[in-house]
Structure 1
Amino acid sequence: MAEPLELYDVTIIGGGPAGMYAAFYSGMRDLKTKLIEARNELGGRMLIYPEKMIWDVGGFAPIICEQLIEQLARQAQVFDPTIVFGQHIKGLEVQEDGTYMLVAETGERHWTRTIVLALGRGILKMAKLEIEGAERYEVSNLHYTVQELEPFRGKKVLISGGGNSAVDWANELESIAGSVTVVHRRDQFGGHEKNVIRMKTSSVCVKTPYALSQLHSSDGKTIGKVTICHIETGESEQLEVDAVIVNHGLKSDFTGINEWGLHMNDWNVFTGGKLETNLPGIFAAGDFADYTSKVNLIAGAFSDAALAVNSAKLFMDPEAPRMAYVSSHNDRFAEKNRALGVAID
C-alpha cells in the first residue's frame, strides 16, 4: 500500500538561480518546501557555461559560473528543503480543497498548497546546425556548448551565432585559442553591449552578415575547413578550422505546463508585480516570469524568487508579515548563528 503523500506549503519547479534562491528564502519564511528539477543536478541554464566568468551578481567579485552554482546549491539547502531530481512536471490537478497535485512525466505525484514556477527557458535543447551530415562531427570537433576552455588552446576556432553565449565564448576563448572567428547572419549581436564591444575590439575576427554553409573533411571524421556565405551578395569563402562551435539559439519545451491555462507565450508566463500568475496560488520567478519592470539578470532572479515566495506565504496566510525579517533579526538563523559561533544580541 502506497504511503500517503505529504502536503507541502510551496513546491518550486526548476533548480536554476531563481529556484535555488526561492528554496532558501522559503525556508526563511518557515514554509515546508519542495524543489523539483527535471535534470539530475541543480544549476539550470548556468550548466551550459560552467567556466564562464560571472560579473553581475551583487556581493560577488567575478566568479566562475560553476562556483556560483555550488554556492547557490549550498545556500538552497540551508533549511533542508526536499529536493527531487529527474522529474519533468507536466500535469496539474486542482483538489477539492484548492490545493494542487503536480504530476510528473514518470507518474510521480506531488501535493502542494502553492507553486513557484522557476522554469527558466524550460527544458532546453540546442538548435542543431542545419547542414546535411553535420551530426557525424558531433563526436569530434563540432560543438554546441563549451564545457571547458582548455581543449581549444592554440586551435583555430570558428563560432557560428550572435547571441549572448556566442559572444561570451568568443571573449573567453580569445586569449586561449590560436584564433577565433565569429560568423553571424546579422550585423547586430544579441549579447550584452559591453561584451559585444569587447569582442569587436579584441583579436576576434568578426564576419557579418555571413552564414556557415558547408563543412569539409579530408578524413570524414573531423572538420578541416568550412565555407561561409555572405547573406546579401552570396559571395563565399573557405576558412581552415580546428573546431566549430555552433550557437544558433535554444528550443524550449514547456510541454504539459503550457496546457495549464496560464497566460503565457512561447518563452514566458505573464505575471503581476507580485509575481502572481492568472491561476490562484501559482507564482513565477526568474527568466520564466515576464512583467513590466523585469530585470533580466541573475540578481533579478533572486528578487523575483523572494517576491514570489512572499506572495505564496500571503496567499496561504493573509495576516502574515509582508516579507521575511532580515537575517540579523530572523529567528530562523539564531541556532545556525550559534553553530557558527556568532554572538547574538
Structure 2
Amino acid sequence: MTQALELYDITIIGGGPAGLYAAFYSGMRDMKTKLIEAKEELGGRLLIYPEKMIWDVGGITPIRCEQLIKQLIQQAHTFDPTIVLGQQISGLERLEDGTMLLTAVTGEQHHTRSLVLALGYGVMKMAKLDIEGAERYELTNLHYTVEQLESFRNKRVLISGGGDSAVDWANELEPIAESITVVHRREHFGGHEKNVKRMKESSVDVRTPYAVTRLHGNVSGDAIEAVSIAQINADGALMEETERLGIDDVIVNHGLRGDFGSIVDWGMDMGQWNINVNEKLATNLPGIFAAGDTANYLSKVKLIAGAFTDAVLAVNSAKLHIEPAAAKMAYVSSHNTKFKERNKALGVSEEDA
C-alpha cells in the first residue's frame, strides 16, 4: 500500500503562519513538499480574527488578518507544494527505511521523509459562554468573533474577556459603537500593555473583576436585550448583588481550547499546550520537528515573526535530516537562482535584484 503513495521530502501539518511559511521556505530548499490542514481553509488562528489589525510583522505596515492570510497563502504557493485540506492527522508509523506513514482520521495516508508539526495549539475551539441557554442567541447577537466591525456601529456592545482579542475589539469598536463595556474576571488584562492602556484611557467602560451572570432575552426570546453582571470577591466567588445592563450585542472572548488529538500518543516530549524541542526545533522523535505555537523552547518568541523563524529552523533541520551533506540554510532571495526567472517575470533586472 505504501509503495503506491507518493513520497515527499517534507510534510507540514498545519496551515497557519508557521506552516505556510514552512511550505514556502522548503521550496527554497528544493524539497518536495506537502502541507496538510485539518480545516477546509488555510490561515490557522488568524481565521478567528479576520478584521484584527496586525502591527508586528517586520516590513509590513498595519494589516488586517484576512489580508495577511491571503498574502501568506500566495507566498506558500510559490514553489507549488501539494496542499491537502480537511484532513486531521492521527496515526504515525515508522517504516523500515526510516520514512514515515501518516494516517488521517478519515483514513487517507501520506508518505514522507520528514515531518514539521505546525499545529498551533491543536484543533482550536472557542471557549463558549458558560451560561445556561446562551447557545440560543448565537444566531442573533451573541458573538464569539468579530467579522465585520460595521455591524456594531451605533450599538451598545458588551465584551466579556480580557485577552488580546477582547482588548483589540474594544479599541477598534470604541469609535463606532454607541458604547462599549468590557467585563473581565481579573484586574489584570492579558493584552499588550500599550493596547490595555489605550482602552482604559478611552470611553470604554471597564468592569473588573466582574463576570456575566445572566442573559436576558427579548420578548420573542431570540435575542439578548440585557445582561446581568456581578463583582467577584477576593476569594474568586461571585457576589450576590448584580447589575443589569441594556445591550444590543454581546461579544465573548474567553480563549481557545486546543486538541492535538491522537498526536499526543506518538511518544513526543510534550507540555500541556505544546511540544518540547531543542535549538534545532527537533522533537525527541527522529525526523519530526515543530514550529510556531506548537514548539516550546527556552528562547521562544511568541509573535508571528517568531513563527516564521521557527519555520526556517525546522525546515533546515528537516533538510539536514534527509540530506546530511546539504547546506545548512538556503541562499537569501537576492542571491538565490530560484528567483532569477521569477524576477524577470516581474520586470526586475538582475542588477536591481
Q: TM-score range by the shorter chain?
A: over 0.9
Q: State the partner residue of 2:122.
A: 122
Q: CA deviation at 1:234?
A: 3.8
Instruction: Render the CA deviation track for 1:249-272: whole Å, top value 9, x for unaligned.
Output: 111110111111111122100111
CA contact (8 A) 2:2 2:111 kept: no
Moved over 3 A (4+): none
Q: State the partner residue of 1:213.
A: 213
In structure 2, the residue corresponding to 1:27 is in which secondary structure? Answer: helix
Instruction: Render the CA deviation track for 1:88-126: whole Å, top value 9, x for unaligned.
Output: 111111111111111001000000000000001211111
CA contact (8 A) 1:144 1:247 kept: yes
Q: CA deviation at 1:180?
A: 0.6
Q: State the partner residue of 1:228.
A: 229
Provide the C-alpha distance between the structure 1 equivalents of 2:144 and 2:22, rounded to a whole number of angstroms: 30
More deviation in 261-270 or 71-80?
Answer: 261-270
In structure 2, the residue corresponding to 1:58 is in which secondary structure? Answer: coil
Q: State the partner residue of 2:236.
A: none
Instruction: Render the CA deviation track for 1:242-292: whole Å, top value 9, x for unaligned.
Output: 000111111111011111111112210011111110110000100111100
Provide the C-alpha distance between the structure 2 equivalents of 1:64 and 1:13, rounded to a whole number of angstroms: 24
In structure 2, the residue corresponding to 1:235 is in which secondary structure? Answer: strand
Provide the C-alpha distance between the structure 1 equivalents of 2:202 and 2:14, rounded to a whole number of angstroms: 37
Which ranges of structure 1 fall in alignment gaps of 5 or more residues? Answer: none
Instruction: Render the CA deviation track for 1:188-218: whole Å, top value 9, x for unaligned.
Output: 0111111111111111110000000001113
Provide the C-alpha distance between the structure 1 equivalents of 2:274 and 2:282, rounded to a whole number of angstroms: 13
TM-score, length basis structure 2: 0.96
Q: State the partner residue of 1:341.
A: 347
Provide the C-alpha distance between the structure 1 equivalents of 2:47 and 2:3, rounded to a whole number of angstroms: 35
CA contact (8 A) 1:99 1:114 kept: yes
Provide the C-alpha distance between the structure 2 equivalents of 1:62 and 1:296, rounded to a whole number of angstroms: 18
TM-score, length basis structure 1: 0.98
Q: Say yes or no: does 1:276 pair with 2:282.
A: yes
Q: State the partner residue of 1:258.
A: 264
Provide the C-alpha distance between the structure 1 equivalents of 2:218 and 2:281, rounded to a whole number of angstroms: 55
Instruction: Render the CA deviation track for 1:132-154: whole Å, top value 9, x for unaligned.
Output: 11111111101111111111111
The correspondence of residues 140-219 of structure 1 with structure 2, limited to 5 A, is 140-219=140-219
Q: Root-mean-square deviation (CA), in Å?
A: 1.3
- Tell me the amino acid that sits aligned with residue 307 of structure 1: L
In structure 2, the residue corresponding to 1:308 is in which secondary structure? Answer: helix
In structure 1, the residue corresponding to 2:224 is in which secondary structure? Answer: coil
Q: CA deviation at 1:3?
A: 8.4
Q: CA deviation at 1:309?
A: 0.3
Instruction: Render the CA deviation track for 1:17-73: whole Å, top value 9, x for unaligned.
Output: 000000000000000000001111111000001111110000101111111111110
Provide the C-alpha distance between the structure 1 equivalents of 2:61 and 2:253, rounded to a whole number of angstroms: 28
- Tell me the amino acid that sits aligned with residue 23 of structure 2: A
- Tell me the amino acid that sits aligned with residue 178 of structure 1: E
